[in-house]
Amino acid sequence: MLAARAWLVPERGLQAEYFSGTASDSSRPVIAALDAQPSTAVVARRWSGAPYNRFFVRWFGYLTVPGTGHYSFTLTSDDGSAMTIDGRPLIDHGGLHGPTPKTGGLNLTAGPHAVVIELTQAGGDYAIDWQWARDGGDTSQVPSWVLTPSRTPVWRVVAGRALDIGAVVTLVAVVGLLCLQPAWRRLRLARYPRLSALALFLVLACLHTWPVASDPGHLARHDNRDTILNEWIVAWVAHQAVHAPLHLFDANIFYPESRTLAYSEPMIVQAAIGAPLLWLGASPVFTYSVLLILGFALTGWSMALVVQRWTGDWTAGLVAGCVFGFSAHTLTRIPHLQTQHVEFLPMALLALDVLLRRPSVGKGVTLALWCTLQGLTSVYLLVITIVVMAAALLARPAEWLRRSSAPALKALVATSVVAAMLLLPFLLPYYRVSHEQGLSRSLNDAAQYSASWTDYLTTAARVHALTWSARFSGGTGLFPGALGLVLAFVAVARGVAFRDPRARMCLVAGVVCVYLSFGPTLPGYAALYTYLPLLQAIRATARFGYMATLAVAVIAGFGVVVLRGWVSARAWPAVAVLLVTVAALEPLAAPLGLTRFDGIPPVFDRLPRGEGVVAVEVPFPGPRSAQFHAHAMLNSTRNWQPIVNGYSGFQPASFYRVAGPLQLFPADEALATMKEIGVSHVFVHTNQYSAEEMRQIAARGDLERIDGFGEIELYSIR
């Protein structure tokens, strides 16, 4: 089914261009992307919740009409909007106004029709909604499956839609096979329940990230430069691990600074998983896509395994895995690969439970290994894992505070020592950068990126976004899911969440992390910030709130067991299928809005390798536009030579010193700065310079053109 969809289903959505100011103010878009459909939520996401006061958006592509008829279209916009179809103006809804609708209609034949939609925002609030109706029928939003960026035959569009429906039916069938014991026995799936569950979560991961799996080497969230940053990080770690592992953190960006990998998350585990692909020649984009899908699948699978072991019920495990693996938090942070890989935290909770029940030093080492693996996926998740483990211990004091608890204390000491020894080589660069560069997160940072109560109602799930949650969008998605909350309430109401020590420790961990997610806005955080240095590495305290979903997922698993006791054995298989299906599909936000990546231009292979070769890409964005340096970082993966460009959560002082002069290229001041810091080669994006500036570049005696490809030229500095 997935293979057929990858071959038949066309690329969907409309090409989108986002301009600052009106269209006449700028000839180049600030953002160029492929949007699933014109909508207020899409616009908010493209601007990352902080749009220009005045902006203009143009969507263009093809609307494939499945059948001939009279179609009416309605644009609801704030401020102006317009629509043309097949070159004919249909709606002109210009001027300054609130979100008001305007309708136009015409007869259309079955097949693709060129469409252009424009939105002009002149300040204040903004809105855009596009709906249609056929032959006087009910009005509904124009679905993304009829929109394509290029002309596509109607049969292929309809076939793609049929395959979409078929994929859902296949998903339900797979879930049913996993839940119905007689089917397990007939298909021998009962012999391999863990592998069967893994297969299910891989299918779900492809579904929730669709259309990534249809073209993993070319479709990505490149509209968000954090995606590109993370692609570069994974590629750098895999490259440096075999070439100079002792200099892993001396990345090739922000030349001439050292330890620049410590400006971001190192994602050691993700890079280790993706390294074989990169070593075999896969692109960073392809590798990132595989890691993204695996992150969702493995996170859900590990939670399913743990809850199944604690409850003895596979339905409970699958429901808990779906709630935790495909959460509002992870699905609203697709560009952040460090968020997707939380597969080791459930295993750490399982190891902690085993240690407290039958303590030994060996079990302490096992717990340390799981905590270390989770900590090496993300500095944020390292801090969160420590907090979760501490809260879980507080929830079970009798097992490590009684007189006979010496074995448990020894095991916990072993955990701390082993984890500290394993993590120390990866934490030292952060310590050094903190002291040398002043890299730390202040309480003001923590307050600015702390959670609000509306975040716990924010989700990208379409079933909720189209009904009630859209009004809360724009913050950090922390909604745990309706089904998870209902089942967790059942467990709490029956007292299971308090009686069972496993459920109780997850409940306490969730409550503690929800409190911390509000950061300095609640009392006590400032004191913790002072006495716990790891908190000084945390800027977005809202991310602690993800552990509310962990608590809900585990307790919901126990709620499934309670519910099973209320249902007859004959009716339970159908109820189990329903529960897992709802848990799997409730958070669905696909298809994702992705942009197409066509590869790194071959001119970047022409940069010489070796000592003394340092490159810079120009134009050189300033500090306020540092995210645009991410493209230069990805380009550098073709040669791995040092570059002056760089993007991260932190920019060193040297970046601010050189950014001003380099923005003046090709002026003398820019070349003087390049020579001063040791730049030997310059990549010039010619389409971003005027004809006069290109004549100046050609006339300079200290620049020698080496090669070019399309709109990029490579020069050496004499």
Check which CATH number belongs to the domain holding 72 and give it: 2.60.120.1560
Q: The whole model's pTM is what?
A: 0.79
Which DSSP string do the residues of 529-556 spell out, in sequence order?
A: HHH-GGGGG-S-GGGGGHHHHHHHHHHH
Say yes or no to pLDDT of 174 above 80.
no
pLDDT of residue 48: 64
pLDDT digits (tens, 9 = 90+) for 246-303: 999 999 999 999 999 999 999 999 999 999 999 998 999 999 999 999 999 999 999 9
- Quick one: 334 and 483 in the same domain? yes
CB contact set of 703 (below 8 Å; sequence gap of 6+):
666, 671, 682, 697, 715, 716, 717, 718
Question: Region 687-707: what's the mean pLDDT?
Answer: 90
pLDDT of residue 326: 96
Count Cβ atoms within 10 A of the Cβ of residue 314 and give its class: 0-12 exposed, 13-18 middle, 19 or more buried: buried
- Quick one: 469 and 409 in the same domain? yes
Output the six-digit token pair for 569.
């054995």
DSSP state for residue 146 in the 8-state scheme: G
Find the range with the poorest average confidence among 254-268, 456-470, 659-673.
456-470
Helix 314-325 and helix 193-208: axis angle, to 10°?
Answer: 30
- Residue 157 lies inside a defined structural domain of this protein: no
- Quick one: 534 and 426 in the same domain? yes
- Residue 525 lies inside a defined structural domain of this protein: yes
Beta strands in 637-702 (DSSP E): 681-685
- Quick one: 341 and 469 in the same domain? yes
- Quick one: 439 and 350 in the same domain? yes
Output the six-digit token pair for 19.
């301009």
Question: Region 57-62: what's the mean pLDDT?
Answer: 93
pLDDT of residue 595: 83
Whole-number Å distance between alpha carbons of 16 and 29? 9
pLDDT of residue 180: 53
Say yes or no to pLDDT of 191 above 80.
no
- Quick one: 499 and 386 in the same domain? yes
pLDDT of residue 187: 44
- 459: Cα within 13 Å, side-chain hemisphere: 26
Residue among 587, 586, 567, 585 at smallest CA distance from 576 = 567
What's the one-letter identity of residue 252? N
- Residue 524 lies inside a defined structural domain of this protein: yes
How would residue 525 be classed by pLDDT, with cut points 50, 70 and 90?
A: confident
Residue among 117, 106, 96, 98 at smallest CA distance from 43 = 117
Task: Label residue 70 left, alpha or beta by phi (over 0 means left) and psi (-120 to 50 means alpha).
Answer: beta
What's the one-letter identity of residue 269? V
Count Cβ atoms within 10 A of the Cβ of residue 706 and give its class: 0-12 exposed, 13-18 middle, 19 or more buried: middle
How would residue 91 be classed by pLDDT, with cut points 50, 70 and 90?
A: very high
- Residue 567 lies inside a defined structural domain of this protein: yes
Whole-number Å distance between alpha carbons of 23 and 25? 5
- Quick one: 176 and 139 in the same domain? no
- Quick one: 208 and 131 in the same domain? no
- Residue 235 lies inside a defined structural domain of this protein: no
What's the one-letter identity of residue 120? T
Among 152, 180, 207, the domain-final residue is 152
- Quick one: 148 and 203 in the same domain? no
| Domain total in the chain | 2
- Residue 104 lies inside a defined structural domain of this protein: yes
- Residue 251 lies inside a defined structural domain of this protein: no
- Quick one: 37 and 184 in the same domain? no
Question: Region 495-506: what's the mean pLDDT?
Answer: 94
Phi, psi of 139 (to 5 degrees): -85, 140
Say yes or no to pLDDT of 538 above 90.
no
**Distinct helix (H) and strand (E) counts, the chain:** 28, 17
Whole-number Å distance between alpha carbons of 384 and 388? 6
pLDDT of residue 364: 94
Among 538, 559, 585, the domain-final residue is 585
The range of the structural domain enclosing residue 317 comes to 171-217+283-585
Beta strands in 47-153 (DSSP E): 55-65, 69-78, 80-85, 88-93, 100-108, 111-121, 127-134, 140-141, 147-148
Say yes or no to pLDDT of 2 above 60.
no
Phi, psi of 310 (to 5 degrees): -75, -30
Averaged confidence pLDDT in the chain = 88
Extract long-range pairs of 134-143: CB within 8 Å, 24+ residues apart.
Answer: 134/67, 134/69, 134/70, 134/71, 135/69, 135/70, 136/70, 136/72, 139/72, 139/74, 141/37, 141/39, 142/37, 142/63, 142/73, 143/37
| Pairing of the two strands 111-121 and 80-85 | antiparallel
- Residue 633 lies inside a defined structural domain of this protein: no
Phi, psi of 39 (to 5 degrees): -160, 160
pLDDT of residue 214: 84
- Quick one: 177 and 122 in the same domain? no
- Quick one: 307 and 209 in the same domain? yes
How would residue 434 be classed by pLDDT, with cut points 50, 70 and 90?
A: confident
Output the six-digit token pair for 530.
């002072």
